[in-house]
Amino acid sequence: TRLILATRNAGKLTELTAILAAARLDHELLGAAAYPEIPDVKETGVTFAENALLKAHALAEATGLPAVADDSGLCVDVLNGAPGIFSARWAGRHGDDRANLDLLLAQLGDIDDPHRGAHFACAAALALPDGTERVVEGRLLGTLRHAPAGTGGFGYDPVLQPAGETRTCAELTADEKNAISHRGKAFRALVPVVRELLG
């Protein structure tokens, strides 16, 4: 069976392809870029799970194929979970990773928070053309550095240091990140669900 991945984020797509291959998901994966006529989905949900389901349903409906989607972000303790679902456009322009990261560091610079606790969250959703839906979540706990370090990954990776690590996510190899990440956990949990529903 073919399965379509509802993401336009290149960093996510790279990770998802590796995570699902390692989990031996034997469905043929198609990138959403193969369907350029699909309109942008309005992410009107108030949770990662709601937004992941919105994206998966929109693509399943438009293509007639089972679709999986990722909604994810960085949740900072002292900011009560912000940027959260607004992580991709925290500084105003959607997907401007460097501006988002710089703004976040500037905001934290003005706050007294010695611990700097934060986590990445990911909701992985599966939607079928008949409306069937499933969603699972994963988290990666850590702390925020004062300055970015590393060139791997994407988004806020240069500032998030996983608990028990001395490196940031951007200093881990791709395999190391996928083994512990919010995205790795969520999509490895989704694989048995895909098998159950699609065979």
Q: Which residues are annotated as a binding site?
A: 7-12, 71-72, 154-157, 177, 182-183
Per CB under 5 A, does 171 bind Na ion? Answer: no
> What CA–CA distance (Å, rounded) separates 82 from 180?
22
173/196 with CB nearer ligand ITT? 173
Q: Percent helix, strand, coil in the chain (nearest 5)?
A: 40, 25, 35
Concatenating the DSSP letter of every residue in 66-100 gives -EEEEEEEEEEGGGTT-BGGGGGGTTSSTT-HHHH
**Which position among 70, 71, 110, 112 bears the catalytic label?**
71
Axis-axis angle for helices 10-22, 182-198 (nearest 10): 60
Per CB under 6 A, does 72 bind ligand ITT? Answer: yes
Among 15, 20, 43, 137, binds Na ion (CB under 5 A): 43
What backbone phi and psi angles, to 5 degrees, belong to 48?
-60, -40
The binding site for substrate comprises 7-12, 72, 154-157, 177, 182-183
Nearest residue by C-beta to ligand ITT? 155
The token pair that represents 72 in the structure block:
């994810």
Q: Is 71 a catalytic residue?
A: yes
* Catalytic residue positions, numbered: 71
**Residues in the site for ligand ITT, rule: CB under 6 A?**
7-9, 12, 55, 70-74, 87-88, 95, 97, 100, 120, 153-157, 169, 181, 183
